[in-house]
Amino acid sequence: MSIATASRGLRVGDLAKSAGVSTDTVRFYEREGLIPPPERTSAGYRSYGQSAVDRLAFIQGCQRIGLRLSDIRDLLAIRDTGECPCEPAEEHLQRRIAEVDAELERLTVLRAEMAAMAAALPSDDCQPPPGSTWCPPDSGGR
């Protein structure tokens, strides 16, 4: 942010552009309490400072690693108290790791089922399926 911009702040469009998000996203984060309400200009425009730029970067970083907005809100609330957010961050990350592991297990099973279904489909001499079926592998037909 330039010195001139820092003194007058960023409008919502400038903040959104700097973070690579839409203005609706910035307003949504504000409504959800992830970004504190900014000061307003005399004309009523939002005027964001460097702290909003930093918060958006933090939010995006957290989202990239799979944290939910509720997790991010919790971490920001802790960060805003001035306390070290490392321990709560570790707890959130460990919980998300467990959730990702469970999802990977589910997806591994799903992949195996899909592979079995694909392997059971006839590769040659395929006949049109009867009625409303779609080549179900469990129909016993090969």
Q: Residue ranges of the domains in the chain? A: 3-119
Q: How confident is the model at residue 136 (pLDDT cuts 50, 70, 90)?
A: low
Sign of CA dihedral 87, 92, 93, 94: positive
> The domain 3-119: what is its CATH number?
1.10.1660.10
The pLDDT > 70 percentage for the chain reads 85
> d(Cα 44, Cα 106) in Å, to the nearest integer?
50
Task: Check residues 65 and 126 and name the one with the higher pLDDT.
Answer: 65
- Token match 């970004």: residue? 35
pLDDT for 20 equals: 93
- pLDDT (average), residues 12-23: 95
> d(Cα 72, Cα 92) in Å, to the nearest integer?
9
